[in-house]
C-alpha cells in the first residue's frame, strides 16, 4: 500500500516551519522540531529543503509573499494617493495588532544573524529595501517631500518594534500629517 504522495507536503512543512521560526526565532528552532510540527519524516524535510538556511530563506520568502498579498489587497480599494498611503499604514498597524505579533520577521532575522550574507539575509534585506521604497513612493505620490518620507519611515519603524497599543497612535498621527487638518 504505497502512500499517495501528499500534494501539499512542501507547503505543510513550510507552514509549520514558518510558525515556529517566527514565534521562537530561527536559531532557537531545530530541524527536529520542524519535523515534529509538520508531522512528516526527516527525509522528506531534507528532500524539500536541503539545509536549514534554505528552509529559512523559504520562510522569509513565504512571509514576504503573504505581506505583499495583504498590502496589495489593502491598496486595491483606494485610488486617491493619500488614501493609498493611509491604507498601507493601516494594514501595517493591523498586522502589529494581530495576536502573536512578535515584531517584523525580516528585522528579527537580521538581528538573529548579524553580518550574515547568505540567502535568507539577502531576502530579508531586499524586502526591507523594497518595503521602504514602496512607502516612499506612496508618500511622494500623496504630495509629501523627502523629509516626510524620512519621518513616516521613522514612525513605521517604531511601529514595527512597538506594541499593539501604539498602532492607533501611529495611524492617527500619519493621517494628520497627510490630510488637511479638519476644523473641530
Partner DNA sequence: GTCTATATCTTGATAGAC
Partner DNA sequence: GTCTATCAAGATATAGAC
Interface with its own copies (CB under 8 A): 23-25, 27-28, 102-103, 107-108, 111-115, 147, 150-151, 153-162, 166, 169-170, 173
Contacted by 44, from DNA, its own copies, none: CB < 5 to 8 Å by type: DNA
Task: Give whichever of 14 and 162 is closer to its own copies, judged by the CB atom.
Answer: 162
Task: Give whichever of 61 and 166 is closer to its own copies, judged by the CB atom.
Answer: 166
Whole-angstrom Cα distance, residue 171 to residue 88?
10
Contacted by 112, from DNA, its own copies, none: CB < 5 to 8 Å by type: its own copies
Task: Give whichever of 46 and 173 is closer to its own copies, judged by the CB atom.
Answer: 173
Contacted by 113, from DNA, its own copies, none: CB < 5 to 8 Å by type: its own copies
> In the complex, which residues of this chain contact DNA (CB under 7 A)?
1, 3-4, 6, 9, 29-32, 39-44, 46-47, 50-53
Task: Give whichever of 41 and 143 is closer to DNA, judged by the CB atom.
Answer: 41
Amino acid at each position: 500500500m504505497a502512500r499517495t504522495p501528499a500534494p501539499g507536503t512542501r507547503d505543510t512543512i513550510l507552514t509549520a516551519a514558518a510558525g515556529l521560526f517566527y514565534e521562537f526565532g530561527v536559531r532557537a528552532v531545530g530541524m527536529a522540531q520542524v519535523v515534529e510540527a509538520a508531522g512528516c519524516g526527516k527525509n522528506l524535510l531534507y528532500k524539500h529543503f536541503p539545509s536549514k538556511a534554505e528552509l529559512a530563506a523559504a520562510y522569509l520568502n513565504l512571509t514576504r509573499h503573504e505581506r505583499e498579498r495583504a498590502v496589495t489587497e489593502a491598496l486595491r480599494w483606494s485610488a486617491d494617493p493619500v488614501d493609498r498611503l493611509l491604507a498601507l499604514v493601516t494594514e501595517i498597524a493591523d498586522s502589529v495588532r494581530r495576536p502573536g505579533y512578535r515584531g517584523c520577521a525580516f528585522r528579527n532575522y537580521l538581528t538573529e544573524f548579524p553580518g550574515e550574507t547568505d540567502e535568507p539575509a539577502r531576502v530579508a534585506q531586499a524586502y526591507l529595501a523594497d518595503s521602504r521604497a514602496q512607502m516612499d513612493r506612496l508618500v511622494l505620490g500623496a504630495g509629501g517631500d523627502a523629509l516626510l518620507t524620512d519621518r513616516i519611515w521613522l514612525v513605521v519603524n517604531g511601529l514595527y518594534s512597538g506594541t499593539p497599543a501604539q498602532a492607533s497612535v501611529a495611524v492617527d498621527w500619519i493621517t494628520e500629517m497627510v490630510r488637511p487638518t479638519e476644523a473641530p
